[in-house]
Amino acid sequence: MGLGWLLEPADLPPGWSPARILAAASQAAAVLAVRPGVRVPKRPRRVIVAHEATPLPAPGVDLADTVAVATGAEVLLVHVLPSGAGPEGRPKPPGTLEPPRFVDHGHHDWLAWRREFERRFCHLSRGVKATVVLETGSPARAILQATRHYLGDLLILTWKRQAAPGRARVVRKILREAPCPVLLIGEETEPGETESTWEAGGGLLLSAGSQGGCWP
């Protein structure tokens, strides 16, 4: 049984910066970051999960599911098609679902893509409502835009735990501008390593392997 804690502002160390959060997060299975001035709702209505559409383990989806089951929140999976990206981008693992490059009949093809996305990557508990959204542009901007547009109460990001200067630029930007709490999960986090529940008091309880948290 891990430690876990209920995030209370009083418990958190002083000083807030993306670098500090990343430094903490690089040692942790998961970190919840709340930018100064951002409201933590008592009950989240919408959890945003950024998803790369790869079949790699997706602890973010599992966490979102836990939160959704606990709170009734809707899960919104955001996949970003980076601007200018072509088919020859970063190598993707087999089973990756790229957005379609040809869309003959939008009403058929987009629905088909979303359903395939859900089938492959949205293994959520029964009753959890999920929506898949494709955004285009710079990944950070696109994720932030979707979070704002869909009024996300919690944004879940998976990251590679590489906090060195010049790395994790997307995460840094999101941490700086996110309109809601951001939950950062290490990419190699095993499913079940991190459990979460949303407490009625307005916070996320992380357990089993969680080691840190930041609060304004």
Applying CB under 8 A, the residues found at the interface with other proteins are 55, 76, 81, 83-88, 94-95, 97-114, 116, 120, 131-136
User: Smaller CB distance to other proteins: residue 74 or 195?
Assistant: 74
User: Smaller CB distance to other proteins: residue 27 or 83?
Assistant: 83
CB of 138 to other proteins, least distance (A): 13
Q: Identify the CA nearest to 7 among candidates 38, 33, 28, 26.
A: 33
CB of 203 to other proteins, least distance (A): 28
User: Smaller CB distance to other proteins: residue 2 or 100?
Assistant: 100
CB of 83 to other proteins, least distance (A): 6
CB of 79 to other proteins, least distance (A): 9
The residue type found at 26 is S
In eight-state DSSP terms, residue 11 is G
User: Smaller CB distance to other proteins: residue 56 or 69?
Assistant: 56
CB 9 within 8 A of CB 37: no
What is d(CA 159, CA 162) in angstroms, rounded to the nearest whole number?
8
Q: Is the dihedral of CA 112, 44, 157, 144 positive or negative?
A: positive
CB of 109 to other proteins, least distance (A): 6
Sorted by sequence, the CB contacts under 8 Å of residue 38 that are 6+ apart come out as 178, 179, 180, 181, 216
What is d(CA 1, CA 129) in angstroms, rounded to the nearest whole number?
30
User: Smaller CB distance to other proteins: residue 43 or 119?
Assistant: 119
